[in-house]
Amino acid sequence: MKIENIELRRVRLPLVSPFRTSFGSVSEREALLVHVTTADSEGWAECAAEAEPLYSSEFLDGCELVIRDHLAPRLNAAGERLTAERVAPALAAVKGHRMSKAALETAILDAQLRTSGVSFGGYLGAVSDLVPAGVSVGIMDSIDRLLAAVEGYLDEGYLRIKLKIEPGWDLAPVRAVRERFGPDVLLQVDANTAYTLADARHLARLDPFDLLLIEQPLAEDDMLGHAALATLIQTPVCLDESIESARDAAAAITFGACSIINVKPSRVGGYLEARRIHDVAAAHGVPVWCGGMLETGIGRAANVALAGLPNFVLPGDTSASSRYYAQDLTKPFVLEDGHLRVPTGPGIGVEVLPDVLHDLTVSSSDIRF
Ligand code: NPQ
Ligand code: MG
């Protein structure tokens, strides 16, 4: 396929309520959309980085720069032979910058699949029409507020609750949610690297609450620490930030650093690498689930398709659009009995709403090929 233009568009979506994690609080989602135009098609994707490099080292201004000055020229050099499958090899010389690479590969894959009339789910190998939806619940000012939020999500039908935790907000919120909503609620926690191995005895105090998993308790590069922690606590360890590739996944599993993996296509460089992680984990009998980065409908559509693969056996952070946005960039994803429907149309299977896009755009620029 011959790319004619790559438009980079910064958008700003207000969140329905502030979302606080161990690394910070956000009240709006600033996102970078990648819009690829080819001779006979177009493709959309979003880059999952945040304005500040707090979740990972990538950040929006850096992504725009690396796409413009280092990644797009390499795609241009690939010429008409470029396909979505050839994007990663074409960009391999550039170290890291996986979220930027993922956005380019995904937009090109969308264009390619729209041309051939194949859906993301069909291409990736989804076997489910509906995927179970979980919800990620931020750190709050009080236990009462947390319980009210969790009650609201359970009433909406969410099938799994994930509590964001940090030192000082861990045992008490977990205990309160368990006591209030009972032992049958699927419950897990996410620390976003807020602890060290020295906290192992403290984290073991979560053992009685029968959590599905504890996600990324230690630093992203602390594989050894996670392996040690896994022997000291009963709660299964799940890795998010630590897993940037299928090779990382194989190492972490072999090492005993995790027994569950949160797959985020953006973090690992795209949907093709995400599928390889799914496959590696499946071969080891390790379950995976699909994480989220506060995606708009554009990124959410592709995530939901990925979550339809057979080893995505735990509910993901694939929530309804309304969890984050009063107005999404696409028709909203809505819960159907606690599930989201895998889109079946060509490519990501959703359309960007032009008026909403226009209203929420902060800036845009073109890279002509
Ligand atoms: C996680 N996501 O699993 C991430 C972290 C996260 C749904 O918990 C702006 C952009 C704010 C990306 C907040 C969920 C974010 C973000 C949290 C990602 O670790
Ligand atoms: Mg996480």
Nearest ligand, CA 213: 2
Residue 243 Cβ inside 6 Å of ligand 1? The answer reads: no
- Start-to-end CA span in the chain (Å): 12
Residue in this structure with the two tokens 């396909």, named with its chain if needed? 83
Residue 55 Cβ inside 6 Å of ligand 1? The answer reads: yes
Q: Tell me the mean pLDDT in the region 185-196.
A: 98
pLDDT digits (tens, 9 = 90+) for 132-152: 999 999 999 999 999 999 999
164 CA closest ligand 1 atom index:
8
Q: Residue 177's pLDDT band (boundaries 50, 70, 90)?
A: very high
Q: Tell me the mean pLDDT in the region 231-244.
A: 98
Instruction: Give the closest residue (by CA) to ligand 1 atom 19.
Output: 192
Residue 257 Cβ inside 6 Å of ligand 1? The answer reads: no
- The helix/strand/coil state of 164 is strand
216 CA closest ligand 1 atom index:
19
Q: Tell me the mean pLDDT in the region 150-171.
A: 98
pLDDT digits (tens, 9 = 90+) for 22-69: 999 999 999 999 999 999 999 999 999 999 999 999 999 999 999 999
Nearest ligand, CA 18: 1
Residue 299 Cβ inside 6 Å of ligand 1? The answer reads: no
* CB-count burial class (<10 Å; 0-12, 13-18, 19+) for 368: exposed
Residue 40 bridge partners (DSSP): none
CB-CB contact of 303 with 124 (8 Å): no
Nearest ligand, CA 49: 1
In the reported structure, the alpha carbon of residue 11 is separated from the centroid of ligand 1 by a whole-number distance in angstroms of 17
Residue 21 Cβ inside 6 Å of ligand 1? The answer reads: yes
In the reported structure, the alpha carbon of residue 81 is separated from the centroid of ligand 2 by a whole-number distance in angstroms of 37
Q: Residue 353's pLDDT band (boundaries 50, 70, 90)?
A: very high
Q: Residue 122's pLDDT band (boundaries 50, 70, 90)?
A: very high
Residue 95 among the catalytic residues: no
> Tokens for 22?
């161990």
pLDDT value, residue 348 = 98
User: What pTM was estimated for this model as a whole?
Assistant: 0.97
Q: Tell me the mean pLDDT in the region 251-267.
A: 98
Residue 217 Cβ inside 6 Å of ligand 1? The answer reads: no
Q: Residue 231's pLDDT band (boundaries 50, 70, 90)?
A: very high
Determine what percent of the chain is predicted with pLDDT higher than 90: 100
Q: What DSSP assignment string belongs to 35-78? A: EEEESS-EEEEEE--BSSTTSSS-BHHHHHHHIIIIIHHHHHHH
Instruction: Give the closest residue (by CA) to ligand 1 atom 8.
Output: 136
In the reported structure, the alpha carbon of residue 29 is separated from the centroid of ligand 1 by a whole-number distance in angstroms of 10
> Tokens for 214?
């504890």
Q: For strand 339-341 and strand 42-47, is the pairing parallel, antiparallel, or unpaired?
A: unpaired
Q: Residue 129's pLDDT band (boundaries 50, 70, 90)?
A: very high
Catalytic residue among 2, 95, 101, 264: 264
pLDDT digits (tens, 9 = 90+) for 91-109: 999 999 999 999 999 999 9
pLDDT value, residue 77 = 95
pLDDT value, residue 35 = 98
In angstroms, what CA-CA distances link 185 with 5, 189, 222?
Answer: 48, 13, 30
Residue 264 among the catalytic residues: yes
Q: Residue 200's pLDDT band (boundaries 50, 70, 90)?
A: very high
- Best CA proximity match to 296, nearest among 355, 239, 351: 351
Q: How many CB atoms lie within 10 A of CB 41?
A: 18
> Tokens for 101?
């690479």
In angstroms, what CA-CA distances link 360 with 14, 31, 356?
Answer: 9, 10, 6
> Tokens for 327?
């107005």
In the reported structure, the alpha carbon of residue 114 is separated from the centroid of ligand 1 by a whole-number distance in angstroms of 29
Q: Residue 153's pLDDT band (boundaries 50, 70, 90)?
A: very high
pLDDT value, residue 36 = 98
Type of residue found at 93: A
Residue 213 Cβ inside 6 Å of ligand 1? The answer reads: no
pLDDT value, residue 147 = 98
